[in-house]
Amino acid sequence: MITPHNFISKIRKIFQYCFILIILLSLAGSLPAPIVQAQDQQTCTDVVLPAIADTYLKASAATTNYGSATTVSIRRKGILVDYREGGLFKFDTSSIPTSATISSASLSFNVTTGSSYPFGLYEMKRNWVEESASWNTYDGSNSWGTVGAAHTTSDRGNTNLWDNPSLSATGIQTYTLNAAGVGVVQGWVTNPDSNFGFTIQNYDGGFLGPNWIVSSKEAGNENQRPKLLVNYCKPMSVDLNYFQAVRTDAGIQLSWETVSEATLAGFDLFRRGEVGDYYLVNAEMIMPLAGGSPFGEVYTYLDEEANPNNWYEYRLESYETLDVSTSSGYILTTYWPYATVLPVIIR
């Protein structure tokens, strides 16, 4: 039987400790326990978002749609012949919490044909239909502001979202978005309705050079499909005032106080000795006393199996209920950046 507790253990993610709280205790009792305030605590996550739509627009085939093609071709104008081609890509960012802050973003493509010419990356300003967009129209019926999705007010932005990376290498390549590009992704996360994807284009004239061709989302090899790579951070939704430990004759007494429990699902408590791994202390998840509330509560837990004369380090973990649409509701584990250490007593 899958319980909420062991379900959570299967999806645990490890985050870096931010603070260490050290409590020194003497044989007779403990020194006053310090309080560590939680300041600007956050967890950061990497996500890989595959393209949900892509196609390209071709000037010499102005009414043709390439939404089912296994590649996306991008090309400059040329001198004697209009060879212009522009690519469109869309990625679903809805899995990223709207409260998250985007720290970095990049695009991954499988390049089948490299190009020595630069192409710009721009934010799309209008929606488009993968199955019917063409050089002339964005949905098979309605015209672009300028053919090829080139109008810098109604079709696309005018700010290059990457710093003209070299596009000559083939194979799987990753291209970092600049600050403006990260800002665009942030906007999509904050306001999902503004997400119309990217276009890659350079319609300037010049001597005919090779297309820049990448695999599309229709590529047979999933690893070769376009991807948006995002690192985002978000504040911990459950905050602590303190986490401390005291030796008693009955064992080790742990206590902590929450500030808010708006999305708290429960706690787990871990202990380890001077060597070895952390050991789960509580048999069942420690349930919240003020779950769903903006207020906090004081918790105590007696670790009766701990030897009061030994060195221990304790770690507290919290579980959040960020997606109540799931069957369990528990989808994210936050590792508290708190540890409390009880040193060996010197007699």
| CATH number, domain containing residue 245 | 2.60.40.10
CA-to-CA dists, residue 163 to 78, 120, 158, 181, 206, angstroms: 23, 8, 13, 10, 21
- Return the closest-CA partner of residue 54 out of 9, 107, 116, 97: 107
Backbone angles phi, psi at 128, to 5 degrees: -150, 160
In this structure, the answer to whether residues 200 and 276 fall within a common structural domain is: no
Same domain as 200, residue 156:
yes
pLDDT tens per residue across span 67-87: 999 999 999 987 778 899 999
| pLDDT of 330 strictly over 90 | no
pTM: 0.65
Are 75 and 198 members of one domain? yes
* Cα–Cα distances in angstroms (integers) from residue 85 to residues 15, 181, 212, 227, in the given order: 44, 22, 10, 21
Overall average pLDDT of the 27-41 stretch? 35
Q: Assess if residue 271 is contained within a domain.
A: yes
Residue 2 lies inside a defined structural domain of this protein: no
Flag whether 203 is in a domain. yes
Element (H, E) at 267: strand 264-272
Looking at the domain assignment, is residue 1 inside a domain? no
The H or E element that residue 188 is part of is helix 179-190
* Per-residue pLDDT at 20: 31
Assigned domain for 3 exists: no
Helix%, strand%, coil% for the chain, nearest 5: 10, 40, 50
Q: Cβ(72)–Cβ(251) under 8 Å? A: no
Instruction: Let me know if residue 256 belongs to a domain.
Output: yes
Q: Are residues 35 and 135 in the same domain?
A: no
Query: Nearest CA to 76 among 230, 209, 252?
Result: 209
Higher pLDDT, 4 or 214: 214
Boundary of a domain, candidates 170, 199, 234: 234
Say if residue 199 is in the same domain as residue 277.
Answer: no
Distance CA 22, CA 224 (A): 49
pLDDT for 293 equals 75
- For residues 330 and 224, membership in a common domain is answered with no
277 and 131 housed in the same domain: no
The pLDDT of residue 237: 57
Q: How confident is the model at residue 235 (pLDDT cuts 50, 70, 90)?
A: low
Is residue 115 located within the same domain as residue 195?
Answer: yes
176 with 98, same domain: the answer is yes
- Tokens for 256, please give them: 């902590």
Give dist(CA 27, CA 314) in Å, integer: 19
What pLDDT, on the 0 to 100 scale, is given for residue 205? 74
Is pLDDT of 301 > 80?
A: yes
Does the pLDDT value for residue 6 go beyond 80?
no
Residue 203 and residue 63 share a domain:
yes
| Domain of residue 85, residue span | 45-234
202/128 Cα distance (integer angstroms): 19
Work out the percent of the chain whose per-residue pLDDT is above 90: 52
Mean pLDDT in residue range 91-113: 93
Q: Mark whether 253 and 145 lie in a shared domain.
A: no
Does some domain include residue 347?
no
Residue 329 has pLDDT above 80, yes or no: no
Q: Are strands 120-123 and 198-201 parallel, antiparallel or unpaired?
A: antiparallel
Final residue belonging to a domain, choices 192, 213, 234: 234
User: What's the CA dihedral at 299, 303, 309, 313 to 10 degrees?
Assistant: -70
The reply to whether 178 and 321 lie within a common domain is no
Domains: count for the chain: 2
- Residue where a domain terminates, one of 182, 212, 234: 234
**Number of Cβ within a 10 Å radius of residue 4:** 18
Band of residue 184 on the pLDDT scale cut at 50, 70, 90: very high
Tell me the two tokens of residue 180: 């403006």
Mean pLDDT to the nearest integer, 93-116: 93
Is residue 127 included in any domain, yes or no?
A: yes
CATH number at residue 66: 2.60.120
Between 100 and 343, the higher pLDDT residue: 100
